[in-house]
Amino acid sequence: MDFFLLIDKPSGITSFDVVYKVKKAFGIKKVGHSGILDKLATGLLVVAVGKQATKLLEFLIHLDKTYEVEMILGMKSDTYDLSGNLEVFDGKVDFGDEEILTILKSFEGEIMQKPPQYSALKINGKRASDRVRQGEDVDLKARKVTVYRIENFDRIKETRLNDSSGQGKRFRFNVHCSSGTYVRSLVHDLGAKLGCGAVMSNLRRVKVGGFDIKDSLKIEDLNKMDNATNHMQISINDIVNKLFCRINLNKIEFEKVKCGKIIVDHFEKEEENLAAFYDDQFVSILKKEGEILKVYKNF
């Protein structure tokens, strides 16, 4: 049994909690996901179920992401969101919407971004966030990421805070960015440019590559899956067709590939990685090297 699920992760559980629930629901040990969502964040996780499906996760992890973001100006936090130690800015926060949007959109394009100290990034095998909590000084290097587009910027009038500190200072926007981009850092860096600080108050992932939250399954519905909801299971063939350019092997080529041997590249495809099919079944990922194709991974 090998397939993929699109899961809408609720706030308050980790991405690994989702994996555990999928394992339990289907009685399968080999389960993985396409990229961590923070515990407080919600939204799309692409979950691979079964040994063959999880072999494709390395190609899903690097897909671009789209998020719906909410933030509060006039605050700082060591975690860059509301879960950390908050420090309220004591000056005026009276920027116009256009001024904020102009600075926010200055982050579009290829940028160098420093991840938050409180992150799942590992330093010598240990999470940066765990090292910080244990009192270590952590200095993460800035990394190159791409912010493709920031849009749907809007001011939020209401506030969820107990006092009026968030009134008129809360905003929402959508961001489409490369894998590895930290939206918390984006918000933090905006606050630094404005000089008043900013924290992320809500994050929802709505797209991973070509996969959309609209097609996802609620975590509480996992145990209710039956013949009527099996259409929520995405086959390996469907995933592969979304990710790769397809080539069809003849029998001789198939026999060589099955044994891990190279074949001549006569397919005239520009992509570096190709999905090889034989008799309409997905059999291998092949990698171009000059005029030959080498087996990267057989299935």
The residues that are catalytic are 38
The CA angle 165-170-174, to the nearest 5 degrees, is 160
Beta strand 109-113 pairing with 143-156: antiparallel
Distance CA 112, CA 97 (A): 25
Backbone φ and ψ of 52, nearest 5° = -70, -40
Backbone φ and ψ of 222, nearest 5° = -55, -45
| Contact indicator for 84, 119 with CB cutoff of 8 Å | no
- Candidates 232, 128, 245; CA nearest to 182 is 128
**What's the number of CA atoms in the CB half-sphere (13 Å) around residue 18?**
32
Residue with tokens 């979950």: 47
CA distances from 82 to 62, 72, 140, 184, 236 (A): 27, 9, 21, 10, 39
